[in-house]
Each structure stands twice: as C-alpha cells, then as structure tokens.
Amino acid sequence: MNIASGIPKLVPLGMIQQEGSPYVQNDTMFIKIMINFIDLPKKLLSYAISLNPGLPINIQQHLVKQEEERQIQQTPPVSDVLPQDGV
C-alpha cells in the first residue's frame, strides 16, 4: 500500500512487467489521469478514457456528450420496461 496517498493498488504488477506492455515503453511508464469536474456518469467513464488524449479537451467533452445522447436514445423508456398495474 502506498501510505503517502492511500492507494492500495494502481495496476497489477503483471500488467506492467509483461513484454510489450502499453504502460511501459523504453523504461518510461505512461499513466493517464482524468479529473472530472462535470459529474461524468460511470457508464460513460470507459468511453471517456478510451478517447485520444491528444484531442483538445473541448472536443473530448463534445464526444462524451454525443455518446451520452446516443446511449439515452438507445435506452427504452421506463414505462416500456416496468409492468403496469393490473397486468
């Protein structure tokens, strides 16, 4: 455990040590850190992390908003999912 920050595990050691690891290249470790101040829903977190970090922040935010709208359109209304009284 990293006592200074209280983080018990950053990434499994096996992922870092494997040959061709995307996290370690030429003795340099790459870590992507995201700080979210806009209440990003958990269901969009994996999508947001997968975006190219080289894109400007406003473009990344726009793409996340588009993905959120796409997911909302694909989700059936609650009335279609829940049984109605007397059925």
Helix (H, G, I), strand (E, B) or coil at 36: coil
Taking only the tens place, the pLDDT of each residue in 50-61 is: 888 888 889 998
* Predicted confidence (pLDDT) at residue 30 exceeds the cutoff of 70: yes
If one compares 15 and 81, the residue with the highest pLDDT of the two is 15
- Residue 49's CB is within 10 A of a number of other CB atoms, namely 10
Residue 41 within a domain: yes
- Residue 25's CB is within 10 A of a number of other CB atoms, namely 10
What's the structural domain count of the chain? 1
Give the chain's mean pLDDT: 77
Residue 47 within a domain: yes
Residue 52 within a domain: yes
Model-wide pTM > 0.75 = no
Taking only the tens place, the pLDDT of each residue in 69-84 is: 999 898 877 665 556 6
40 is in which domain, residue-wise?
A: 36-76
Q: Report which of 8, 6, 57, 5 is spatially closest to residue 34, judged by C-alpha positions.
A: 57
If one compares 6 and 39, the residue with the highest pLDDT of the two is 39
Residue 51 within a domain: yes
